[in-house]
């Protein structure tokens, strides 16, 4: 009885660990995508091109533009946490880790 339980249990744990390892990065990305749609897409556009009415009015730069590409990750996270020009600051509503993940998400849109 007891042996039966462990032989079922151990591989189960192994599977779970492997599954979590594969899911973690995807989850962070999904979270950024959801946050982005909720907080940023109105100005920057779902695709990061800034082709929304608000984006155009505020002259938002395309994330894939040379100007944004040559900015460092620190520049981008600073713009998100402290705001930039007409863009609001997000340091109060986003965790530092979320901001970091958001920078990676922005880079992925610029490819």
Touching ligand HEC, residues 60-89 (CB under 6 A): 60-61, 68, 76, 79-80, 84-88
| DSSP assignment string, 49-85 | S--SHHHHHTTPPPTTSHHHHTS-HHHHHHHHHH-BT
Q: Can residue 101 be called a binding residue for ligand HEC (CB under 6 A)?
A: no
CB of 48 to ligand HEC, least distance (A): 9
CB of 59 to ligand HEC, least distance (A): 6
Alpha-carbon distance of 5 to 19, in angstroms, equals 21
Any idea how long the chain is?
111
Touching ligand HEC, residues 35-64 (CB under 6 A): 39-40, 42-44, 54, 58, 60-61
């Amino acid at each position: 009885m007891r042996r039966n339980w462990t032989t079922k249990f151990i591989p189960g744990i192994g599977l779970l660990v492997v599954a979590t390892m594969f899911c973690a990065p995807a989850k962070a990305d999904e979270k950024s995508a959801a946050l982005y749609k909720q907080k940023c897409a109105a100005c920057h556009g779902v695709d990061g091109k800034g082709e929304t009415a608000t984006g155009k009015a505020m002259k938002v730069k395309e994330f894939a533009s040379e100007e944004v590409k040559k900015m460092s990750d620190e520049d981008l996270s600073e713009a998100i946490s402290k705001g930039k020009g007409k863009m609001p600051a997000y340091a109060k509503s986003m965790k530092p880790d979320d901001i970091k993940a958001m920078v990676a998400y922005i880079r992925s849109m610029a490819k």
